[in-house]
Amino acid sequence: MKNYLTALKPPARTQRQRLTPDQVRNNAGGFTFKVSDEGRFLRFLILGTEGGTYYATESAHTVQATDFIRTYAAQHGAAALRLILEVMRGHRAPKPDATLLALALVARSADLETRRAAWNALPEVARTGTMLLHFLAYMDALGGWGRLTRRGVARVYEDLPLEKLALWAVKYRSRDGWAQADALRLSHPHSTDPARHAVFRHLLGHPLPYLEAPDPALQMLEGHGRAMSVTTDPEAAALMREYGLPIEAIPTGARGAGVYRAAMQSNGLTWLLRNLGNLSRLGLLAPQHPEVVAEVLARLNSREALRRGHLHPLDLLKAQLVYAQGRGVRGGNVWTPVPAVIDALERAFYLVFGLVKPSGARHLLALDVSGSMDIGTVGGVPGLTPRLATAAMSLVTARAEAQTTPVAFTAGPGGFGGRWGGGTPGLTPLTISPAQRLDDVVKAMRALPMGGTDCALPMLWAAKERVPVDVFVVYTDNETWAGKVHPSVALEQYRQRMGIGTRLVVVGMTATAFSVADPGDTGMLDVVGFDAAAPNLIGSFARGEL
- Torsion angle of C-alpha atoms 170, 171, 176, 180, degrees rounded to 10: -30
pLDDT grade, residue 421 (50/70/90)? very low
Q: Which residues contact 167 (CB under 8 A, 6 or more apart)?
A: 129, 220, 246
User: In this model, does residue 522 exceed pLDDT 60?
Assistant: yes
What's the pLDDT score for residue 479? 59
User: In this model, does residue 122 exceed pLDDT 90?
Assistant: yes
The beta-strand segments (E) located in 369-502 are 404-410, 426-429, 471-476
- Comparing 147 with 67, the larger pLDDT belongs to 147
What's the pLDDT score for residue 527? 76
Average pLDDT over residues 21-38: 59
pLDDT grade, residue 521 (50/70/90)? confident
Average pLDDT over residues 370-391: 76
pLDDT grade, residue 25 (50/70/90)? low
Average model confidence (pLDDT) for the chain?
A: 81
Best-predicted range by mean pLDDT among 15-19, 348-352, 464-468? 464-468
Q: What's the residue count for the chain?
A: 546
- Identify the DSSP state of 35: P
- Comparing 129 with 515, the larger pLDDT belongs to 129
What's the pLDDT score for residue 447? 80
Residue-wise pLDDT for 431-468, tens only, equals 888 878 888 888 888 788 776 677 788 999 999 999 99
Average pLDDT over residues 419-423: 42
Residue-wise pLDDT for 360-380, tens only, equals 999 999 988 777 777 777 766
- Comparing 55 with 351, the larger pLDDT belongs to 351
| Share of residues in the chain with pLDDT > 70 (%) | 81
What's the pLDDT score for residue 339? 95
User: In this model, does residue 32 exceed pLDDT 50?
Assistant: yes
| Share of residues in the chain with pLDDT > 90 (%) | 40
pLDDT grade, residue 44 (50/70/90)? confident
pLDDT grade, residue 485 (50/70/90)? confident
pTM for this prediction: 0.72
User: In this model, does residue 17 exceed pLDDT 70?
Assistant: no
What's the pLDDT score for residue 542? 84
Chain center to CA of 216: 37
Say whether 442 sits in a helix, a strand or coil.
helix
What's the pLDDT score for residue 76? 96
What's the pLDDT score for residue 355? 60
Average pLDDT over residues 257-263: 96
pLDDT grade, residue 505 (50/70/90)? confident
Which residues partner with 23 through β-bridges? 33
Residue-wise pLDDT for 302-341, tens only, equals 988 888 888 878 788 889 988 998 988 777 789 999 999 9
What's the pLDDT score for residue 9? 43
What are the distances in angstroms from CA 176 to CA 58, 108, 445?
21, 20, 39
34-38, 40-44, 59-63, 182-186, range with the lowest pLDDT: 59-63
What's the pLDDT score for residue 51? 39
Which residues partner with 504 through β-bridges? 472, 524
Best-predicted range by mean pLDDT among 26-35, 124-133, 276-285, 480-489? 276-285
User: In this model, does residue 53 exceed pLDDT 90?
Assistant: no
- Comparing 521 with 290, the larger pLDDT belongs to 290
d(CA 394, CA 441): 10
pLDDT grade, residue 68 (50/70/90)? confident
d(CA 354, CA 535): 9
Contact 373, 385 (CB under 8 A): yes
User: In this model, does residue 416 exceed pLDDT 60?
Assistant: no
Residue-wise pLDDT for 210-242, tens only, equals 777 678 888 899 999 899 999 999 999 999 999
What's the pLDDT score for residue 57? 46
Say whether 118 sits in a helix, a strand or coil.
helix
520-529 long-range contacts (CB < 8 A, ≥24 apart) are 521/488, 521/491, 523/491, 524/488, 524/491, 526/35, 526/39, 528/42, 528/43, 528/46, 528/47, 529/47, 529/378, 529/386, 529/389, 529/390, 529/393, 529/475
Q: Give the number of other CB atoms < 10 A from CB of residue 17.
A: 13
What's the pLDDT score for residue 478? 62
What's the pLDDT score for residue 455? 79
45-59, 131-145, 460-474, range with the lowest pLDDT: 45-59
